[in-house]
Amino acid sequence: MKHVIALDVSKGKSTVAIYNGYKQCEFEGELYHTRVDFEHLHQRIEEIKILDGHAPEIVFEATGIYSKPVEKFLRDYGHIYCRMNPLEANQQMASMRRYKTDISDAHELAKTHFKMEREITYVQDAYYDQMRAITRYYDEIDGEIILLRSRMHAILHISFPELEQLLTPSSALFLNFVQLYPHPALLMAHSKTIIKNRLKSNTRKNLSLERAEKKAIVLLEAAENSYPAIEPTDIRCDQVRDYARRIADLLEKKDQLVKQMVEMSKGRKEYTVLRSFPGIGDTTACRLIGEMGDLRRFKNAKQLNAYVGIDIMRYQSGNTQYHDRINKRGNKKLRKILYFMICAMLMTKGKPNHFVDYYYKLKTQPQRKPHKVAIVACINKFLKVTFHLLKHDILYDYESALPAQKS
């Protein structure tokens, strides 16, 4: 049996316990996440490798951002390791009586490693880590935009409520117009010609002068009839300008992130396969890659389902039996992307898509499935098809997918 090095990771440091092949502790101590301490650990690993003739087994529990320096060190030095899920580690180390300390956790992790068959952690290419980081950044920006839009709506409701009815709130023109005229009095201070020219210059669409003039007349009429709850000199007018400016900047940043992900993904098998599905664009394809990562680390589609969190959880004991439902222990961000992806496919009209066909089949059979149940079933089918296509390096084709739809 090999030596086992167990680490209980915490903020800035780890507690280390080293056991030999006779299940005896040879060392216990603390490892600070510094270059010097990591080099000392590397030297000890090399000494064990010379002594045993093979590398020791390294095991630790994933602790979010705190375990990232440990993983980086192990990857840089080429050491294989086992990164454990916290829930799995807790279940394996559970006992009737447990003395909970950092050093005892390290010892328990090492002792249980002799009993358990733990798989070596699959190390992904740096591309997947970067794609995940960009995807998470994209999601943060999206959440911030939603918050800012809500705040902007609240102020516009008391400063210029008619504006959201006359201009599309999600358009670039609306954001530019709010920065110029957050109050009707500011709009009425300018002539129809000035407003018309500003409308034309602040939209990306080919707005004709005639349409711009008609829109200016409608806006001026609305401004004259508006009765705002605040004055044009109120600080909230400056506040809503700031919100509109920040939303515009964030939207531009989102576009830049998508372009960056597309540029990184060009020539990648995953990107090419995902873009071959009708209804999946650049943004969805890149975000799926960011959250799914390298699918080669999964042995089958069932493991991918469990990672997403749509595997079935069943409970039956005696006469008690609950309805089957999805586990939801997986990646909730990926589950959300997949859910809205199927919804978008249902609303898209154009090229045929057998996931949409499957949805309507579930909705029209004798026992009709509820909407969310049918969506989850479509996600399950999508993951199976995607896993198969990536494994065999082939693109999606509706005609060849029809036999799989019947099965």
Between residues 201 and 41, which one has the greater pLDDT? 41
- How far is 122 from 216, CA to CA, in rounded Å? 60
CB atoms within 10 A of CB 370: 10
Query: Torsion angle, CA of 229/235/241/245, rounded to 10 degrees?
Result: -150
Looking at the fold, whether 107 and 146 belong to one and the same domain comes out as no
- How far is 305 from 241, CA to CA, in rounded Å? 45
Contact in structure between 169 and 149 (CB atoms under 8 Å) = yes
- Nearest in space to 337 (alpha carbons), one of 289, 377, 295: 289
Contact in structure between 84 and 119 (CB atoms under 8 Å) = no
Looking at the fold, whether 230 and 304 belong to one and the same domain comes out as no
Q: How confident is the model at residue 321 (pLDDT cuts 50, 70, 90)?
A: low
pTM of the model: 0.86
- Burial group, residue 118, by CB count within 10 angstroms (0-12, 13-18, 19+): middle
- Nearest in space to 38 (alpha carbons), one of 19, 61, 12, 64: 12
- How far is 130 from 166, CA to CA, in rounded Å? 41
Looking at the fold, whether 286 and 363 belong to one and the same domain comes out as yes
Contact in structure between 106 and 27 (CB atoms under 8 Å) = no
Helix (H, G, I), strand (E, B) or coil at 324: coil
Which domain CATH number covers 73? 3.30.420
Q: How confident is the model at residue 322 (pLDDT cuts 50, 70, 90)?
A: low
| Domain endpoint, select from 262, 282, 304 | 262
Tens digit of each residue's pLDDT (9 = 90 or more) over 49-73: 999 899 999 999 999 899 999 999 9
Looking at the fold, whether 291 and 200 belong to one and the same domain comes out as no
| Domain endpoint, select from 91, 123, 155 | 123
- Burial group, residue 7, by CB count within 10 angstroms (0-12, 13-18, 19+): buried
Tens digit of each residue's pLDDT (9 = 90 or more) over 243-299: 999 999 999 999 999 999 999 999 899 999 999 999 999 999 999 999 999 999 999
Q: How confident is the model at residue 314 (pLDDT cuts 50, 70, 90)?
A: low
Contact in structure between 334 and 308 (CB atoms under 8 Å) = yes
The total number of structural domains that make up the chain? 3
Token digits of residue 392: 């065999």
Looking at the fold, whether 107 and 140 belong to one and the same domain comes out as no
| Domain endpoint, select from 262, 286, 318 | 262
Average pLDDT over residues 345-352: 83
Looking at the fold, whether 330 and 391 belong to one and the same domain comes out as yes
Residues 6+ apart with CB under 8 A from 49: 55, 56
Residue 192, CB-side half-sphere exposure with 13 Å CA sphere: 14
SS (H, E, C) 147-181: HHHHHHHHHHHHHCCCHHHHCCCCCHHHHHHHHHC
Residue 20 belongs to domain spanning: 4-123
